[in-house]
Amino acid sequence: MKVVMLAAGRSKRMKPIEDKNFLSFLGKPLLVHQLEILKKAGISEVILVGGKHNLEKIGAMAKSLKIKIEIVEQKNLELGMCGAVLAAKDLIKGEEVMVLSSNDVVDVKAFKLILKAAEKGGAESFIIGKKVFEYFPGGYLETDKKGFIKNIVEKPEPGTEPSDLVNLVVHIHKDANSLIKYLEKADSKKDDLYEQALAKMMRDGVKMMAVEYDGFWQPLKYPWHVHSVFTYLFSQAKKEIAKSAKIAKRATINGEVIIGENVKVFDGAVINGPCYIGDNTVIATNALVRDSNVGKNCVIGYITEVARSVLGDEVWTHSNYIGDSVIGNNVSFGAGSVTGNLRLDEKNIQVSFDGKKMDARTNKFGAIIGNNVRVGVNTSLMPGIKVGGGSFIGAGIVVPEDVADNSFVRGEWKLKISENRENIASLDRKKFKNKL
């Protein structure tokens, strides 16, 4: 069987995160985690489809892995999944082929289920259907009583779903030649050529079977999905503290943690698992890190709190609060700066995409910050804002809107000095002190 992993997307919905394939979890890019999950399922040969923007990086990464990887370029990204599979057509002709997305994170169980179903036979194509218990804005599998798929209904109105099975991009086609033929003839004004090809195959009598799956699934489409992926990958990893880590006697570590080489945890620091602390990182005096991924060479400075966040490498903080946020590499926060993560009205956080607000479906979400950013002292980043890479954010300001890449942000304010008419020396503080 040939396995085609689609990794050519531009990650537009994740901006300012540059490429979600290389978003680091537990010290490794997401793409590496995905390939390792495939290996656990018994798959040792993969065709990786990349784009011009990430092909070189994919190639460099592939050299370090113990998996046979062939890399091909998808030249026309506008063709979506259809273009990605066709980019690999010379490698899959005459083969049984599995098609999957590099950004849909599922348990190894999903791959074992579909491989077993394909081996058993009874259909020409097999599609993983994730059983959901609440509405998901995606494609639903309409099936008959025997589990054969009659149709894939894209984003039905809530309450009109044809089933409780969502189409996951984990597909097996027994005849790649047939799939290629339909893909080459597919016609649509949208980026759903692959889905249109499958629909035409079904109309022409090609049998497709739904393989029901009830395990973990997280499509990494938006920044607020990042923490869920961290939580899952952490749950599957070996928990350990490196022997070279130096942890002060008066530091506190609760729950499950992974602490890397040469990490230093100072007196009074608290780490509440699940937590990953990357190599050479410092957790300073009285800092609190909880339910977070902290990359390598970071400094979580004095009385800083990091909560439910994913931080890249070389992130430096001092007396900050970083909550429910996604932070890139080489980012520094000046003392007293914070990421707001809760609206005053406690309603769901809204995040801007292409000039429109999108509901993050949570009332707790902070900032998304790209690579190579500096934030000045005593600056507040409001919930759900995005700070583009290469930007400077000035001191003592409130940032309530998105910041484009390579921006220099500062506020306009005026210092006012007037006469003080209060006699400070005469103020009695005893009553106030007694209430403390």
Global pTM reads: 0.92
Q: What's residue 433's pLDDT?
A: 65
CA 402 to chain centre: 19
Identify the top-confidence range among 129-133, 152-156, 428-432. Answer: 129-133
| DSSP labels, 99-167 | EEETTEEE-HHHHHHHHHHHHH-SSSEEEEEEE-SS--SSEEEEE-TTSBEEEEEESPPTT--S-SEEE
Q: pLDDT at residue 420 above 90? A: no
The 10 Å CB-count burial string (b at 16+, else e) for 229-243 is: bbbbbbeebeeeeee
Tell me the pLDDT of the chain averaged across its residues: 94
Q: pLDDT tens digit string along 171-189? A: 999 999 999 999 999 988 7
For range 342-356, the mean pLDDT: 93
pLDDT band at residue 211 using 50, 70 and 90 as cut-offs = very high
pLDDT average, residue stretch 287-315: 98
What does the block give as tokens for 304?
């800083």
| Mean pLDDT within 335-359 | 95
User: Does position 432 have pLDDT exceeding 70, yes or no?
Assistant: no
Whether 436 has a pLDDT exceeding 70, the answer reads no
Which tens digit of pLDDT belongs to each residue from 257-290? 999 999 999 999 999 999 999 999 999 999 999 9
pLDDT of 120: 95
End-to-end CA distance of the chain: 71
Walk me through the domains of the chain, giving residue ranges and CATH numbers: 2-221 (3.90.550.10), 226-409 (2.160.10.10)
What's the chain's length in residues? 436
Q: Does 215 score more than 70 pLDDT?
A: yes
